[in-house]
Amino acid sequence: MSVLDKRGARPRHPVPGTTSGTAEETTTTAERRPSSRRGLPLLLNAVSLALGIALWWGLAAAGFKLPTPPEVVSRAGTLIGDGTLADDASASLLRVLTGFALGTAAAIPVGFLMGWYGVARGLMEPWIQFFRTVPPLAIIPLAVVVMGIDETPKIFVIFLAAFLACVISTFQGVVNVDRTLINAARVLGAGDAVIFARVVVPASTPFILVGMRVGLGSAWATLVAAELIAAQEGLGYRMQNAQLYYDLPTIFVGLISIGILGLLMDRVLLLAERRLTGWQERR
């Protein structure tokens, strides 16, 4: 028997249950898989975008009352050139960010209190559920009478939309924490403060971030109606003003601008979710 036979020559065909190939080949394969997984969604997104534009163009060519993509691009160029789009986008973005930030900042502690303390839940939950059934848009007349016609009522209705979406998600996150984890922490001698900080908060974080994403969508959805309150600039205001003159390209520019800004903000929250919940298994 030769030296190679004694030491075990590499078989030509891999034996089932064993791993063939060098460690270098395995590493290269492992590095290729994530890149291919990242590239496929981007490719699908590009295909979906192209199909959507083609469908839009086809409907406009078929006689539907829709502006064609070149008309919308031309109007967008005009609005960008004179600074109108930048001013409107800045005003709307400031309102959404302010209302969303205030709504989220209020919703997270309220949701934790409702989920952790039964007394707080009994006191707050009926009011939260009551206002959830009242659309924030229905609050606009009351907000105008009570708060005036400045920025306050606009930000308030956006705040309310974000708050109601986020508080329920935070509350459900606290309630759904596995009791086994809490009991195990108590057995190890942890007090309520440690359990809350080390168990409840991390376990509730995915729910909170999902609630923030839903609240962000609600904030943008409320924006157009909020900017009806004596606004002088903003994407919603520009769209309502264009409606009076049947200016469909301007309306489409406003819709696309809101969609792009909302999508970018959602991606930021999605990135934060992946960073903060890296321990969570994903499909």
Other beta carbons within 10 angstroms of residue 58's beta carbon come to: 11
> What are the Cα distances from residue 46, in Å, to 10, 40, 52?
45, 10, 10
- Highest mean pLDDT: which range of 74-78, 127-131, 271-275: 74-78
- Mean pLDDT, to the nearest integer, of 118-140? 86
Residue 13 has pLDDT above 70, yes or no: no
Length of the chain: 283
> What are the Cα distances from residue 102, in Å, to 9, 31, 82, 95, 172?
68, 42, 32, 11, 20
Binned at pLDDT 50, 70 and 90, residue 23 comes out as very low
Domain that holds residue 85: 69-276
pLDDT of res. 37: 62
134-176 per-position pLDDT tens digit: 887 788 888 888 888 788 888 999 999 999 989 999 998 888 8
Residue 24 has pLDDT above 60, yes or no: no
Q: Pick from 183, 177, 179, 184: which is nearest to 200 by CA?
A: 177
Q: Is residue 182 part of a domain?
A: yes
pLDDT of res. 2: 44
Share of the chain above pLDDT 70, in %: 84
pLDDT of res. 80: 92
pLDDT of res. 139: 85
What is the CA 57 to chain-centroid distance, rounded? 28
Binned at pLDDT 50, 70 and 90, residue 21 comes out as very low
Binned at pLDDT 50, 70 and 90, residue 281 comes out as low
Q: Is residue 144 part of a domain?
A: yes
44-99 per-position pLDDT tens digit: 888 988 999 999 889 888 888 888 899 999 999 999 999 999 999 999 999 999 99
Both structure tokens of 219: 């904030």
- Mean pLDDT, to the nearest integer, of 260-275? 88
Q: Is residue 16 part of a domain?
A: no
The CATH number of whichever domain residue 134 belongs to comes to 1.10.3720.10
From CA 236, how far away is CA 230, in angstroms rounded?
11
Share of the chain above pLDDT 90, in %: 24
Binned at pLDDT 50, 70 and 90, residue 34 comes out as low
Other beta carbons within 10 angstroms of residue 250's beta carbon come to: 23
Mean pLDDT of the chain: 81
Q: Is residue 43 part of a domain?
A: no
Q: Is residue 10 part of a domain?
A: no
Q: Is residue 125 part of a domain?
A: yes
Residue that is written with structure tokens 């295909």 in the block: 47
Q: Is residue 179 part of a domain?
A: yes
From CA 4, how far away is CA 276, in angstroms rounded?
51
From CA 163, how far away is CA 111, in angstroms rounded?
10
173-211 per-position pLDDT tens digit: 888 887 888 888 888 887 778 888 888 888 888 888 888
Residue that is written with structure tokens 């009570």 in the block: 146
pLDDT of res. 257: 92
- Phi and psi torsions of 250, nearest 5°: -65, -40
Q: Is residue 57 part of a domain?
A: no
pLDDT of res. 187: 83
Looking at the 3D structure of the chain, how many domains does it have?
A: 1
